[in-house]
């Protein structure tokens, strides 16, 4: 739902079932492009009342347009690892430890795509999934980067470590700043904890390094999506510098 998210999804050729547009919706360039893509692909374009679109989207901000998609196609954690290892640059995967806000998930997916990560790993239970809210927050990035769902997050992380990836956990209490972590240009899994409790005990103990993001003492912590974006930027910055 939302004009940017719908346009990005259609441009990425996500197999949409139908597009719903509210009666009287303002026609801007984005909406016109959506109509063209829908016509070119034979996607059903259905006009509904704004009240009906509100109902279909659960009262979310839809900007007069929503796309009905099939269930999200998650990849297997092993396939995500294989993709990262076969890439022409060092593996970078973002793992989320019980991030439950779909908007945070979507924002992290967007940052992962923006900073060159190979994919995002989430647990099957006690975690947000790729819902409509997560799709919208990703601004279409979920169509461009694989997302894996693990039955057992700790087991998948151990497999990634055994394959040679270093597990770096974001922890606001860690003494080491993310900018001081050695060899960020190497193969990495960046592990981001939940919005409230942060990293769980087992995940924290399994990390090779715990790193923090220095912030003002007047602020207790950063939003999970913001913290992930800052850490990914720092990793990207150091990787670019290592290539110079």
**What is the crossing angle of helices 224-243 and 102-114, to 10°?**
10
Residue 16 has pLDDT above 90, yes or no: no
Total tally of structural domains belonging to the chain? 2
Coil, helix or strand at residue 141: helix
More confident: 102 or 197? 102
**Per-residue confidence at 53, pLDDT binned at 50, 70, 90?**
very high
Does 33 share its domain with 101?
no
* Antiparallel, parallel or unpaired: β 188-192 and 92-96: parallel
Range of the domain at 139: 77-243
Does 200 share its domain with 123?
yes
Report pLDDT for 54. Answer: 93
CATH number at residue 55: 3.30.1330.30
Give the chain's largest Cα–Cα span: 56
Q: Which of 99-113, 163-177, 195-209, 214-228 has the lowest mean pLDDT?
A: 214-228
Does 205 share its domain with 102?
yes
Coil, helix or strand at residue 166: strand
CB 202, CB 153: distance < 8 Å: no
Domain boundary among 68, 97, 115: 68
How many CB atoms within 10 Å of residue 96? 26
Does 208 share its domain with 226?
yes
Domain boundary among 28, 50, 68: 68
Q: What is the pLDDT of residues 168-205, one digit of tens each?
A: 999 988 999 999 999 899 999 999 998 778 899 999 99
Q: Exposed (0-12), middle (13-18) or buried (19+): which is 15, by Cβ within 10 Å?
A: exposed
CATH number at residue 172: 3.40.1280.10
| 214 vs 222: CA distance, rounded Å | 10
More confident: 201 or 140? 201
Spatial CA neighbour of 192 closest among 74, 93, 85: 93
């Amino acid at each position: 739902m939302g004009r940017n998210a719908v346009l990005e999804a259609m441009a990425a050729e996500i197999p949409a079932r139908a597009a719903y547009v509210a009666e009287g919706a303002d026609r801007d360039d984005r909406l016109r492009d959506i109509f063209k893509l829908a016509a070119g692909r034979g996607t059903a374009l259905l006009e509904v009342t704004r009240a009906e679109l509100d109902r279909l989207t659960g009262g979310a901000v839809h900007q007069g347009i929503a796309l009905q998609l099939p269930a999200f196609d998650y990849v297997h954690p092993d396939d995500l690892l294989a993709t990262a290892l076969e890439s022409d640059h060092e593996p970078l995967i973002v793992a989320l430890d019980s991030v439950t806000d779909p908007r945070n998930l979507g924002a992290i997916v967007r940052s992962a795509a923006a900073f060159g990560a190979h994919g995002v790993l989430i647990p099957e239970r006690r975690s947000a999934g790729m819902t409509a809210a997560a799709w919208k927050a990703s601004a279409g990035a979920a169509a461009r980067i694989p997302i894996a769902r693990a039955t057992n997050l700790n087991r998948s992380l151990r497999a990634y470590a055994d394959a040679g990836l270093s597990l770096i956990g974001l922890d606001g209490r860690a003494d080491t700043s993310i900018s001081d972590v050695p060899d960020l240009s190497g193969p990495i899994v960046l592990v981001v904890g939940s919005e409230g409790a942060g990293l769980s005990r087992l995940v924290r103990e399994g990390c090779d390094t715990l790193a923090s993001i220095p912030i003002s003492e007047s602020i207790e912590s950063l939003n999970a999506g913001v913290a992930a974006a800052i850490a990914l930027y720092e990793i990207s910055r150091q990787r670019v510098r290592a290539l110079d």
